Amino acid sequence: MTFDRDLLEQYHQLLCTTRLADGYGEFVRLFRFLRVQMEKELPDHTFQAGITENAMDYSYFQCTCPALKSQGLKLTVVFVHRTFSLEVWLSGYNRAQQCRWHEQLRGLPFAMAQNPARQDYILRVPVPEADLGDGDGLVQKLRDTVALIEDSIH
């Protein structure tokens, strides 16, 4: 198996000439804080054990509550690295649930998946005015975004 030496060298140079590793460490610290605080803020929700890294495409953690779970739905708090944005996604427990709910939720004012059978969400909502330096403010904005989605589907 071969690998792209130029990309690996560029990565090496970034690590040597910037604070990339420090910045990424700070991001992980922030995202873990958000997951822990959201679990405290939403005691009726069940959260996955930790955060998941997805090759710097996006990082996420998931949660659900009895009302969502009974409908085959879950929420995912997502940080999209390329756009440096925080979002909340509504997803199904499986692709069949996603497709069924995608049809039912089509009229909502959120960004809908183009193809819920191939995408990891039914709909996605950006967290408004997300100041990544304000952890407590982010928790409140996340909580408000979660409530907005849950209220919209009930």
Number of folded domains that form the chain: 1
Position 101 scores a pLDDT of 95
Region of 143 on the Ramachandran plot (φ > 0 left; ψ -120 to 50 alpha; else beta):
alpha
Position 78 scores a pLDDT of 97
pLDDT in tens, 58-70: 999 999 999 999 9
Kindly give the parts of the chain with pLDDT less than 50.
none
Containing domain of residue 71, as a range?
Answer: 5-153
